[in-house]
Amino acid sequence: EPEVTQTPSHQVTQMGQEVILRCVPISNHLYFYWYRQILGQKVEFLVSFYNNEISEKSEIFDDQFSVERPDGSNFTLKIRSTKLEDSAMYFCASLPGRREQYFGPGTRLTVT
């Protein structure tokens, strides 16, 4: 069964550095998402992406964040200048339509 994949599984970075989290959604899916989960807290929506553009973003998704689908398969989340509070698990999700969102295994980002 096709799966959403994410790399890396764990990223450690220093405050102020740029990070790029990568996701490969399921190939025939149309909608792509990033969610964030700070340790011990609930999963929070960051951004959705459809037809090569952002369709919705949350208040968390400020100018430090950007998303891209550079080559038609990868879906990336960039954080330009990381802060300590960006430390979290980041989940990518995709869906073919209005069905359950297929989540990737997550990338644990640690900002030191």
Partner 1 sequence: AQKVTQAQTEISVVEKEDVTLDCVYETRDTTYYLFWYKQPPSGELVFLIRRNSFDEQNEISGRYSWNFQKSTSSFNFTITASQVVDSAVYFCAQLTGETSGSRLTFGEGTQLTVNP
Residues that bind partner 1 (CB under 8 A): 30-31, 33, 35, 41-45, 48-51, 55-56, 58, 89, 91, 93, 98-103, 105-106, 108
Question: How far apart (Å, rounded) are the C-alpha atoms in residues 26 and 46?
Answer: 19
Work out how close the CB of 50 gets to partner 1 at its nearest, in angstroms, rounded to a whole number.
Answer: 5
Is 16 or 61 the residue whose CB approaches partner 1 more closely?
61
The number of beta carbons lying within 10 Å of the beta carbon of residue 14 is 8
Q: What are 68's strand-pairing partners?
A: 76
Shortest Å distance, C-beta 69 to partner 1: 13
When the beta carbons of 15 and 108 are compared against partner 1, the nearer one is 108
Of 18 and 68, nearer to partner 1 (C-beta) is 68
Q: Closest Cα partner for 47 from 30, 63, 31, 61?
A: 61
> Rounded to an integer, what distance in angstroms lies between the CA atom of residue 26 and that of residue 94?
7
Token pair 């969102």: residue: 101
Identify which of residues 58 and 74 has a Cβ nearer to partner 1 in the complex.
Answer: 58
